[in-house]
Amino acid sequence: MWRGGSNTRTCKRRFFSSPTRSRHHRPPYMLHSRGSQHLKAMAEVDHLAAERATARFDVEEMKVAWAGSRHAVHVADRMARLVASDPVFRKDNRTMLSRKELFKDTLRKAAHAWKRIVELRLTEEEADLLRQYVDQPGYVDLHWGMFVPAIKGQGTEEQQHKWLPLAYKFQIIGCYAQTELGHGSNVQGLETTATFDPKTDEFVIHSPTLTSSKWWPGGLGKASTHAVVYARLITEGKDYGIHGFIVQLRSLEDHSPLPGVTLGDIGGKFGSGAYNSMDNGVLRFDHVRIPRDQMLMRLSQVTREGKYVHSNVPKQLLYGTMVYVRQSIVADASKALSRAVCIAVRYSAVRKQFGSQDGGPETQVLNYKTQQSRLFPLLASAYAFRFVGDWLNWLYTDVTQKLEAKDFSTLQEAHACTAGLKAVTTSVTADAIEECRKLCGGHGYLNSSGLPELFAVYVPACTYEGDNVVLLLQLASGKQPVGTMAYMGKVQYLMQCKSAVSSAEDWLNPDAIQEAFEARALRMAVNCAQNISQAASQEEAAGFYERSPDLLEAAVAHIQLIIVTKFIEKVHQEIPGHGVKEQLQALCNVYALYILHKHLGDFLATGCITPRQGALANEQLGKLYAQVRPNAVALVDAFNYTDHYLGSVLGRYDGDVYPALYEEAWKDPLNETVVPEGYHEYLRPLIKQQQLKLSRL
């Protein structure tokens, strides 16, 4: 019932039918969209071969651990190759396109992708992977990611029967129109109204103020024909709060806005290329009428007479689509982070600076301990987010099944985990992409490094689907010691326990890590609770407000505990492949001890560990970095990304960075002419004027 969308990892539904399937068996380095001569040259060199030779584990098996199964590796491989080998999906020129060109390019790619999906009879799992590898935000994401799930989760069976087949075949295109100019985070504060008119059996959708204009919905600006619109339901003179309605916006004949509908794009966004491929839109309604049965009526209904009837379910199920997308955003965080880390690791292995005063070889920057201490925690975080994402997907599927059976007991836990993990993983990933850019020095600032666009396209994830601060504050409510909160049941022990760590190696014991993280999270939560009750002499809300910065930190500590716990659990499982488990163990320790080192203040202030134990953790971290170093390139190879998907001259599989950087520069439109446009208007007159002045002296 709450479910927004299906679990795409297991779904085998096919889109239409077709006779053929494509087969590609080329290795990743053959997948550049360049001429065959270049491909030949590239196949002959592998500047990272020495790095790959030092790996102490089976990379192919690590690919399986990363992807989740052998099947997942094969499907991902096939879809990545399909996209990389198709010229329509070219993206190396994206940052040079104007907004209009970029938008048209997005429409073209989406239409072509759909054509291929139908021709090749791709399953939903394959289609979603294809969408990811096309790697260009567009209306399709909101259509499949929010419009369809909203109807599935909030529509009655009858409504699903009517609308989903149209949406599945793209006979209509939908978006998710919730946020308004004046309100985004505060959903209950939305102003758009849906007033029931019993005379005509219709709802009248209206935007009463400027601030009630829908603002931001992706796909709304130019592409969508329909929207799920969230509006205040008013019937029999009473306001029943926010509900969802399916509203047609544009003609299915000529795409013109329907009467009473004003809509357009909200304008250019941060960065070149990036999220500018998306038509985030503005929408106003002037008393637009829709039939009563276009209210999504699974959770509550309005009868023909105008009576409001609420089913006996929690009203928060209205937010189910957001929960669905939040959990998919957690899975995406590991993808974005691993892309950035892959680029930075490979380039750091290629790039050399200093180290030789006599003309001998310089030092690979990856060998600098500072580079390692900045980069390896990010590598470990990519793996950590991947595994916690898998767990969250399981939790989401589980709660969805329970909801179908009218068991709402895990709803709050699922909301808290998705909200918290979405907030922490996206914040860390956005910062990490920027850190990877710096780790690549000056070349990281070039668009051809792929990092500026990756950052620009990723950073709104900290805001959309719930501002990260607002979401973290959601964790402060509902502290029953169940599920991931179960450790709170050990309050007496965790409030007074002392870490037994007495050597750096002791920090390799997962129990020592687990206990320190549990004690820190619990003590921070208890401190907050005490401070709130002290601050709130009159009412709890005042104390909550007063101590909200501390609550935020306590929420982060709780989420970091979940991530560490899920990583430890993963490593405890049977993991096949030579050396794979050992590498994951090392990365798990890197992740945990890095967090401990970074938040040492929390651990010390709450008395969970002593300053000496903190120093030992840092000592162990240094040893772990040395252990990761020879495996670093192979650990990013295990992400199995094609050069097309990475979109970075610095992150190339073959490490042949310099010719590619050089070649790329010449493609810039500024280099189309030797003498730039504007020379005769501005430069020449200026130079001549100065020359004249000088000659007069």
Ligand X SMILES: Cc1cc2nc3c(=O)[nH]c(=O)nc-3n(C[C@H](O)[C@H](O)[C@H](O)COP(=O)(O)OP(=O)(O)OC[C@H]3O[C@@H](n4cnc5c(N)ncnc54)[C@H](O)[C@@H]3O)c2cc1C
Residues with a known catalytic role: 465
- Decide if residue 176 touches ligand X (CB under 6 A): yes
Residue 511, judged by CB atoms within 10 A of its CB (0-12, 13-18, 19+), counts as exposed
The one segment of 64-72, 341-349, 469-477, 487-495 that binds ligand X by CB under 6 A: 469-477
Phi/psi at 236 (5° precision): 50, 40
469 makes contact, choosing from ligand LY3KDABY, ligand X, none, with CB < 5 to 8 Å by partner type, with ligand X
Give min distance, CB of 672 to ligand LY3KDABY, in A.
30
The one segment of 363-371, 466-474, 505-513, 647-655 that binds ligand X by CB under 6 A: 466-474
Among 186, 262, 509, 671, binds ligand LY3KDABY (CB under 6 A): 186
| Nearer Cβ to ligand LY3KDABY (91/415) | 415
Q: Which two tokens stand for residue 181?
A: 């100019």
| Nearer Cβ to ligand LY3KDABY (13/40) | 13
Give Cα separations from 506 to 34, 73, 328, 466, 593 (angstroms). Answer: 51, 36, 36, 39, 12
| Nearer Cβ to ligand X (220/638) | 220
The one segment of 184-192, 251-259, 284-292, 433-441 that binds ligand LY3KDABY by CB under 6 A: 184-192
Question: What is the signed CA dihedral for 437, 440, 446, 447, rounded to 10 degrees?
Answer: -60
Rounded Cα distance between 685 and 691, Å, is 10
Contact between residue 195 and residue 235 where contact means Cβ atoms under 8 Å apart: yes
Rounded Cα distance between 89 and 113, Å, is 9
Rounded Cα distance between 299 and 3, Å, is 13
Which residues does 323 contact at the CB level (< 8 Å), separation at least 6?
2, 4, 396, 414, 415, 418
Give min distance, CB of 168 to ligand LY3KDABY, in A.
9
- Decide if residue 179 touches ligand LY3KDABY (CB under 6 A): yes
- Decide if residue 477 touches ligand LY3KDABY (CB under 6 A): yes
- Decide if residue 185 touches ligand LY3KDABY (CB under 6 A): yes
477 makes contact, choosing from ligand X, ligand LY3KDABY, none, with CB < 5 to 8 Å by partner type, with ligand LY3KDABY
For ligand LY3KDABY, the nearest residue by Cβ is 145
Q: Is 642 annotated as a binding residue?
A: no
Residue 125, judged by CB atoms within 10 A of its CB (0-12, 13-18, 19+), counts as buried
In the block, which residue shows the tokens 């989420």? 559
Among 67, 379, 411, 555, binds ligand LY3KDABY (CB under 6 A): 411
Contact between residue 220 and residue 176 where contact means Cβ atoms under 8 Å apart: no
Alpha helices, H only, 440-573: 451-458, 468-474, 491-496, 510-535, 540-546, 548-572
In the block, which residue shows the tokens 């209009």? 100
Among 218, 221, 377, 389, binds ligand LY3KDABY (CB under 6 A): 218
280 makes contact, choosing from ligand LY3KDABY, ligand X, none, with CB < 5 to 8 Å by partner type, with ligand X
* DSSP secondary structure letters along 165-191: HHHHTTSS-EEEE--BSS-SS-GGG--
Residue 615, judged by CB atoms within 10 A of its CB (0-12, 13-18, 19+), counts as middle
Among 29, 147, 176, 383, binds ligand LY3KDABY (CB under 6 A): 176
Q: In a 3-state reduction of DSSP, which class is residue 266?
A: coil
Q: List % helix, strand, coil for the chain (3-state, nearest 5).
A: 60, 10, 30
- Decide if residue 449 touches ligand X (CB under 6 A): no
Give min distance, CB of 393 to ligand X, in A.
21
| Nearer Cβ to ligand X (187/258) | 187
Give min distance, CB of 141 to ligand X, in A.
9
Of 222, 214, 128, 131, nearest in space to 177 by CA: 214
The one segment of 134-142, 361-369, 630-638, 685-693 that binds ligand LY3KDABY by CB under 6 A: 134-142
Rounded Cα distance between 31 and 14, Å, is 27
Among 123, 179, 348, 640, binds ligand X (CB under 6 A): 179
Q: Which two tokens stand for residue 300?
A: 């509550």
Give min distance, CB of 257 to ligand X, in A.
18
Among 103, 114, 387, 464, binds ligand X (CB under 6 A): 464
Question: What is the signed CA dihedral for 12, 13, 14, 15, rounded to 10 degrees?
Answer: -140
- Decide if residue 602 touches ligand LY3KDABY (CB under 6 A): no
Q: Is 614 annotated as a binding residue?
A: no
The one segment of 38-46, 211-219, 411-419, 659-667 that binds ligand X by CB under 6 A: 211-219
The one segment of 127-135, 371-379, 516-524, 554-562 that binds ligand LY3KDABY by CB under 6 A: 127-135
Contact pattern for ligand LY3KDABY over residues 533 through 572, marking x by CB under 6 A = ----------------------------------------
**What DSSP element (H or E) covers 686?**
helix 684-696
- Decide if residue 459 touches ligand LY3KDABY (CB under 6 A): no
Among 302, 322, 382, 552, binds ligand LY3KDABY (CB under 6 A): 322
Q: Which two tokens stand for residue 176?
A: 């998710």
CA atoms within 13 A on the CB side of 442: 2
Give Cα separations from 405 to 43, 180, 254, 354, 525 (angstroms). Answer: 55, 34, 44, 64, 33
What is the longest distance spanned by two Cα atoms in the chain?
93
276 makes contact, choosing from ligand LY3KDABY, ligand X, none, with CB < 5 to 8 Å by partner type, with none
Q: Residue 481 corresponds to which amino acid? A: P
Contact between residue 488 and residue 439 where contact means Cβ atoms under 8 Å apart: no
| Nearer Cβ to ligand X (102/633) | 102
- Decide if residue 204 touches ligand LY3KDABY (CB under 6 A): no
Give min distance, CB of 205 to ligand LY3KDABY, in A.
18
| Nearer Cβ to ligand X (301/463) | 463
Rg (CA), the chain: 27
Contact between residue 526 and residue 387 where contact means Cβ atoms under 8 Å apart: no
Q: Which two tokens stand for residue 210?
A: 């400027």
Give min distance, CB of 591 to ligand X, in A.
26
316 makes contact, choosing from ligand LY3KDABY, ligand X, none, with CB < 5 to 8 Å by partner type, with ligand LY3KDABY
Among 4, 138, 174, 217, binds ligand X (CB under 6 A): 217
Give min distance, CB of 13 to ligand X, in A.
24
124 makes contact, choosing from ligand LY3KDABY, ligand X, none, with CB < 5 to 8 Å by partner type, with ligand LY3KDABY
Q: Across 162-297, where does the E strand assignment appear?
A: 174-177, 193-197, 202-206, 214-215, 226-235, 238-248, 261-265, 281-285, 288-291
The one segment of 269-277, 322-330, 385-393, 451-459 that binds ligand LY3KDABY by CB under 6 A: 322-330
Give Cα separations from 67 to 9, 82, 274, 528 (angstroms). Answer: 10, 18, 26, 39
Q: Which residues are annotated as a binding site?
A: 179, 218
Residues binding ligand X (CB under 6 A): 142, 176-179, 184-185, 216-218, 275, 280, 460, 463-464, 466-467, 469-470, 473
Per CB under 6 A, residues contacting ligand LY3KDABY are 8, 109-110, 113-114, 117, 124, 127-128, 131, 134, 140-141, 144-145, 176, 178-179, 185-188, 218, 316, 319, 322-323, 325, 328, 411-412, 415, 464-466, 470, 474, 477-478
Q: Which amino acids are annotated as binding site for FAD, given as ranges?
A: 179, 218
